[in-house]
Amino acid sequence: MSLTTPRRAPSADDLIVLLAVAREGRYTSAATRLGLNHTTVARRIESLEQALGGRVLVRGTAGWVLTPLGEHALAAAEEVEAALRRLSPDAPALGGVVRLSATDGFSGFIAAPAMAALRARHPDVSLEIVAATRRAAQQRVGVDLEVVVGRPHVQRAEAIHLGDYVLGLYASRAFLERNGTPETFDDLAGGPLVYFIESMLQVDALDAARRSTRGMVDAVSSTNVYVHVDATRAGAGYGLLPAFLADPHEDLVRLFPDRLEERLPYWLVCRPEALRQPTAVAFIAALRARMAEAADALLGRSAASSSAES
């Protein structure tokens, strides 16, 4: 679709409604955010399309997505939003909601502390997290940012490598007392494994990490990495766990630390419009800062240092 000359000047209110629908992906969610009803939101979008002479939204598989004309209008809508924010000089410099889709471990260990640090400076900023372990979506409806494991292949989005973390093999001290400590990889054959549900795992990098445990038998499987940690601590078997979640627990022992280590990357996927939101940009900076702060823990170095010192 080619951009058309507006038939009349679009309403600032209509542009703000478009901004909300673009961020939420649904009329109902946008209506709730704006304190309007669904009918009013639909009427505002129709009014904007009449003013611009074309469609600004089309239905996608997961909600409403912007057309090229809609993306053009969105830039103007963001300028309106920024202008309105400047009219409130006493308000904090940043405000609004950042919506993030990320894995459970990243959400708890990286995203939550990053938002806490950002809110200390900008208390009107908030974070909504959809915890999920999956590939990057081709249509990012309802979220501003995604964090995935493994390099994503996406269109109309920017992918940023945030950093790496490592998986190691762990067992509880009680489990090792009952079953003995394996001395070679061959001793793990037929042993109970705690990890993701293989048939439901959508992330190639996490699936490939199982290569060192192929001869083992699934004992407890879950889509939630915190379940992996708790099940391993309870003695359900050998857990293939992120070092940053396992190392703080003194009742867990890492096995073959110099030989069994899977290094995996965290990638951030951003919608183009999210990179024009000052709040989202500030949160990305906070994520980078938290990743740098936690680098040793993510790579299992903090536990190694503690063991060397002791």
Architecture of domain 12-86: Orthogonal Bundle (1.10)
The span from the CA of 301 to the CA of 174, in Å, is: 24
Q: Which range among 7-16, 94-103, 259-268 shows the weakest confidence by mean pLDDT? A: 7-16
CATH match of 92-310 with 3.40.50.1100:
no
For the chain, percent of residues with pLDDT exceeding 70:
86
Say whether pLDDT at 94 is over 70.
yes
Say whether pLDDT at 232 is over 60.
yes
pLDDT in tens, 278-298: 888 899 999 999 999 999 999
Residues 6+ apart with CB under 8 A from 258: none
For helices 38-52 and 68-86, give the axis angle rounded to 10 degrees. Answer: 110
Coil, helix or strand for 97? strand
Please state the domain extents for the chain: 12-86, 92-310
- Nearest residue to 272 via CA among 151, 128, 156, 136: 156
Say whether pLDDT at 305 is over 50.
no
Query: How would you class 55 by CB atoms within 10 Å of its CB: exposed for 0-12, middle for 13-18, buried for 19 or more?
Result: middle
pLDDT higher for 202 or 189? 189
Residue with tokens 């699934």: 218
Counting every residue, how long is the chain? 310
Give the pTM: 0.70
Across the range 211-234, mean pLDDT stands at: 92
Strands 158-172 and 238-242: antiparallel
Coil, helix or strand for 159? strand
pLDDT for 26: 86
pLDDT for 175: 97
Which one-letter amino acid corresponds to residue 34? L
